[in-house]
Amino acid sequence: MADNQNEMRAPHHDLPGLGMMFRRRSKNLCDSKPGALIFDFRQELLRQKRAKRRSLAMLVGGGLLAGVIGGLVGIGWPASTAIAQASATHSFAVCGTIRQTCVVDGDTIWVEGVKIRIADIDTPEISSPQCDAEYERGFRARDRLVVLLNEGEFELRPIGNRDEDQYGRKLRVIMRSGRSLGDQLVSENLARTWTGRRESWC
């Protein structure tokens, strides 16, 4: 039962007035009954607002943390994974000054800025040939490799336990439809199967 009629007519949507009413009633209750519960709507509303702010801050912070972790994972991804496969969208040409995706010679290429040594073959040298015959065949091997690489999808597969040679080149075998492109060059007498040591082309 309300203490007076004015308090009974207080509109429910008037929260400031309602808070004042409860404080007055609570004071009266405390005066008459020690230890009675005091309830303040204003304090309760402030508490709920603070709780919502904390929840929002935690949600935003969690999203930012997830983004940072995702970025770090992307940055730390191994380069060997990036060159695991290449497709026909790569357009190969003979390497020039800028080497991004191109062919150096019959057994060395660049794919997306990564230098790769074709590990299952050896081809004639272009940069330091021992004779004119080697020089001429080296150019033929290089140009033929450009054509083969541009014919469609291929896969770069690791070979043995070594990832790189002493020059920092990735050691890979180029595969298409279950066959090595290096073997294709061997069959055309433009390369030799790699046996672990170089042999003369002269």
Measured over the CA atoms of residue 170, residue 188, residue 180 and residue 77, the dihedral's sign is positive
94 with 179, same domain: the answer is yes
- Residue 98 falls inside a structural domain: yes
pLDDT of residue 146: 95
pLDDT of residue 79: 47
Which residue range(s) make up the domain with 23?
A: 5-75
Give me the helices (H) in 76-197, please.
79-82, 132-149, 181-187
154 with 110, same domain: the answer is yes
97 with 184, same domain: the answer is yes
Nearest to 160 by CA among 120, 202, 112: 120
Return the DSSP state at 97: S
71 with 85, same domain: the answer is no
pLDDT of residue 49: 65
- Residue 31 falls inside a structural domain: yes
70 with 120, same domain: the answer is no
Q: How far is CA 96 from CA 28, 109, 160, in A?
A: 93, 12, 31
The set of residues, in sequence order, having a beta carbon less than 8 Å from that of 185 and lying 6+ positions away, is 106, 121, 123, 141, 144, 145, 148, 191
Query: Which one has a higher pLDDT value, 141 or 91?
Result: 141
76 has pLDDT over 70: no
- Residue 198 falls inside a structural domain: no
- Residue 14 falls inside a structural domain: yes
Angle subtended by helix axes 15-32 and 41-75, to nearest 10: 120
Query: Which one has a higher pLDDT value, 67 or 132?
Result: 132
71 has pLDDT over 80: no
The tens digit of pLDDT for each residue in 26-66 reads: 444 444 444 444 445 566 566 666 766 666 666 655 555 55
Q: How many residues does the chain have?
A: 202
Tokens of 99: 């080497």
61 with 100, same domain: the answer is no
56 with 13, same domain: the answer is yes
Mean pLDDT of 170-192: 94
Domain count, the chain: 2
- Residue 109 falls inside a structural domain: yes
Average pLDDT of the residues of the chain: 74
pLDDT of residue 93: 93
Q: How far is CA 99 from CA 93, 110, 115, 151, 175, in A?
A: 10, 7, 9, 20, 22
22 has pLDDT over 60: no
**Of the candidate ranges 76-85, 97-106, 108-117, 193-202, the one whose mean pLDDT is the lowest:** 76-85
84 with 71, same domain: the answer is no
How far the first Cα of the chain sits from its last, in Å, is 115
pLDDT of residue 160: 83
- Residue 200 falls inside a structural domain: no
Rounded CA separation 121/138 (Å)? 13
- Residue 202 falls inside a structural domain: no
98 has pLDDT over 80: yes
173 with 115, same domain: the answer is yes
Determine how many CB atoms are found less than 10 A away from the CB of residue 47: 10
- Residue 96 falls inside a structural domain: yes
Mean pLDDT of 148-162: 90
89 with 166, same domain: the answer is yes
115 with 59, same domain: the answer is no
154 with 171, same domain: the answer is yes
Mean pLDDT of 160-173: 90
For position 141, which CATH number holds?
A: 2.40.50
